[in-house]
Amino acid sequence: MAGRIARSLYRGVAAVEWVPSDEADVFRLTFSSGLDPRYLKLSIPQSGVVEREVQLLPALRARGIPVLEFEYSSEDLGGAGTAFHVTREVEHVPGAELAASDPSAARCLAIQLGQVVRQLEGLDAAAIPGSGRWNRRPSDWWRPQYRALLADPRWPATAHQWARRILERLNSPPTGFGGWYCEMLISPNGSFVMIDWTTAGASWKGEQAAAAMEALAGFSATSKRDLVRSFLHGYAPDGLEPAQIAELRLWAIHGPLGWTMLHPPTAAEIDRATSDMQLRLSSDDPAEWF
């Protein structure tokens, strides 16, 4: 199917190489004509990610969000048999490499990411086609993970208290947009495009910002606080209000607790998540949380 779609769109297709991916089938296309490589992303059964991205990414791009630009999508090719999109190959420098080789470019990335996340959290998810919609189903939106945490006596009382707070928030309708897992293709100058919008849609203010701060902190052990402060300069240029700090803290605590509960955790994993939670409670400066 990938080969048929590729040859329907391009002449001189030399190779269609499968690239491992979690929630879609991705193929790198190369050409005998000398055309630069392209990436073809196909839907897989029971995923729906690509169908959503075909709608979502153009709408975000039209609003100035730096996402991949489609060269073609399933809307351009009738009878393709599946949802797909094609994008050009984009240069990429890993975030850790950028932070080590060009700290100034890394800070620029962090500031721009803060600005973009502030814009994202201000969007109305209902106005973005392909957005995930919040619901009250007990089986959705991290609710099973937090109920399992509350039923596990190995977690300390403080973790149980925060799990209840997070569950309460999950049961309240979100007013913003988020759910992006901070995957980026980064250029050497620090500009970037945001990829893999698997769960994007309705979300709560602060949720996306907390995830972005954690991603930036993972770039560098030595400059992580500088990167987080640069992010906050873009995200809240006039400074954080106490209510914003409270929201960022709640979602920053959700990070270690929620992800740890995606599978039955070991005692060591609980200890590590508890330590991360305590770090986020130790200061009102988010740069000190990581």
CA–CA separation, 56 vs 82, rounded Å? Answer: 17
CA–CA separation, 172 vs 166, rounded Å? Answer: 10
Same domain, 109 and 253: yes
Q: Residue 21's pLDDT is what? A: 87
Same domain, 11 and 100: no
User: Using 50, 70 and 90 to split pLDDT, how confident is the model at 261?
Assistant: very high
CA–CA separation, 192 vs 109, rounded Å? Answer: 7
Q: Which tens digit of pLDDT belongs to each residue from 102-122?
A: 999 999 999 999 999 999 999
Residue 23 clears pLDDT 90, i.e. is over it? no
Q: From start to end of the chain, where are the E strands? A: 13-19, 25-31, 38-42, 72-73, 84-88, 176-178, 183-186, 192-195, 201-203
DSSP character at residue 139: T
Q: Which long-range contacts (CB under 8 A, 24 or more apart) does 161-170 make?
A: 162/250, 162/253, 162/257, 162/277, 163/257, 165/250, 166/142, 166/250, 166/253, 166/254, 166/257, 166/258, 167/143, 169/204, 169/250, 170/141, 170/142, 170/143, 170/146
Q: Which tens digit of pLDDT belongs to each residue from 76-103?
A: 998 888 999 999 999 899 999 999 999 9
Q: Which tens digit of pLDDT belongs to each residue from 33-54?
A: 999 999 999 988 888 899 999 9
DSSP character at residue 35: P
Same domain, 79 and 107: no
Q: Residue 198's pLDDT is what? A: 86
Same domain, 52 and 182: no
Mean pLDDT of 258-274: 98
Same domain, 120 and 248: yes
201 in Cβ contact with 132 (< 8 Å): yes
Instruction: Tell me which of 23 and 260 has the higher pLDDT.
Output: 260
Phi, psi of 139 (to 5 degrees): -85, -5
Q: Which CATH number belongs to the domain containing residue 64 in this structure?
A: 3.30.200.20
Same domain, 29 and 149: no
Same domain, 67 and 148: no
Q: Residue 270's pLDDT is what? A: 98
Instruction: Work out the percent of the chain whose per-residue pLDDT is above 90.
Output: 93
* Cα→Cα distances 68→12, 135, 166, 169, Å: 24, 28, 32, 32
Number of domains in the chain: 2
Q: Domain end: 56, 88, 120, which one?
A: 88
Q: Domain end: 68, 88, 108, which one?
A: 88
As given in the structure block, the two tokens for residue 40 are: 């073809």
Same domain, 73 and 167: no
* Cα→Cα distances 262→60, 157, 162, 265, 266, Å: 29, 20, 17, 8, 12
Same domain, 133 and 242: yes
Domain that holds residue 34: 2-88
Same domain, 74 and 145: no
As given in the structure block, the two tokens for residue 262 are: 């995606």
